[in-house]
């Protein structure tokens, strides 16, 4: 099996949340951790995948905050619980960056805009986008990665995409076979 990236400890893994880490609620939002469902194999495979990278960063669009459905503090609690579950499984997420505005609203943090990655690079100066992989399930995720010169991985879902990624997988856990 060919490797699409020769990953070493200098590389960074960027992950979308909904549709990659957890079940995406089409037409809705995960508003409480009790409704957060890890996708099959994510927690089990995260330790072996995450250990290949220097950093693991989650970048997620969460307009539910701007819509008043969830507070910023509630979203932070949800992300802290998610990170704790990863930690219990033996995998570490270094940081979660969330775009809170509605689609089209300023300050345009939402993917495919690269602002969340720029903040990650500011916080972790060793991040080199040419040595990064973006894993997502939407065109916005893939364009985000491509705009920054990252390798891109599509996790197939019910979402229809038009952007061609570097790699297409059925599930996150399969990434280990290609790095």
16 catalytic? Reply is yes
CB 101 within 8 A of CB 63: yes
Cβ–Cβ < 8 Å for 111, 143:
yes
Which residue stretches of 70-166 are H helix? Answer: 72-88, 115-123, 139-147
Q: Among 2, 10, 18, 35, which one carries the catalytic annotation? A: 18
Q: How far is CA 175 from the centre of its chain?
A: 13
Which of 121, 132, 161, 140 shows the shortest CA–CA distance to 60? 140
Determine contact, residues 37/19, Cβ cutoff 8 Å.
no
Catalytic residue among 8, 16, 137, 174: 16
- Told to judge if 18 belongs to the known catalytic residues of this protein, a careful annotator would answer yes
User: Contact at 8 Å (CB) between 109 and 62?
Assistant: no
Active-site residue numbers?
16, 18
């Amino acid at each position: 099996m060919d490797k699409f990236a020769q990953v070493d400890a200098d590389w960074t893994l960027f992950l979308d949340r909904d549709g990659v880490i957890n079940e995406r609620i089409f037409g809705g939002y995960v508003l409480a951790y009790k409704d957060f469902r890890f996708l099959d194999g994510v927690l089990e495979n995260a330790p072996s995948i995450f250990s290949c990278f220097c950093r693991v960063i989650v970048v997620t669009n969460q307009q539910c905050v701007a819509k008043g459905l969830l507070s910023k503090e509630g979203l932070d609690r949800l992300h802290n619980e998610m990170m704790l579950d990863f930690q219990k499984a033996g995998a570490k997420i270094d940081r979660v960056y969330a775009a809170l505005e509605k689609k089209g609203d300023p300050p345009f943090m939402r993917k495919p805009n690269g602002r969340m990655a720029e903040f990650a690079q500011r916080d972790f100066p060793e991040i080199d986008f040419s040595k990064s992989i973006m894993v997502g399930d939407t065109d916005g995720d893939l364009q985000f990665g491509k705009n920054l010169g990252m390798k891109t991985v599509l996790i197939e879902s019910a979402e229809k995409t038009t952007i061609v990624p570097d790699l297409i997988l059925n599930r996150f856990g399969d990434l280990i076979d290609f790095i």
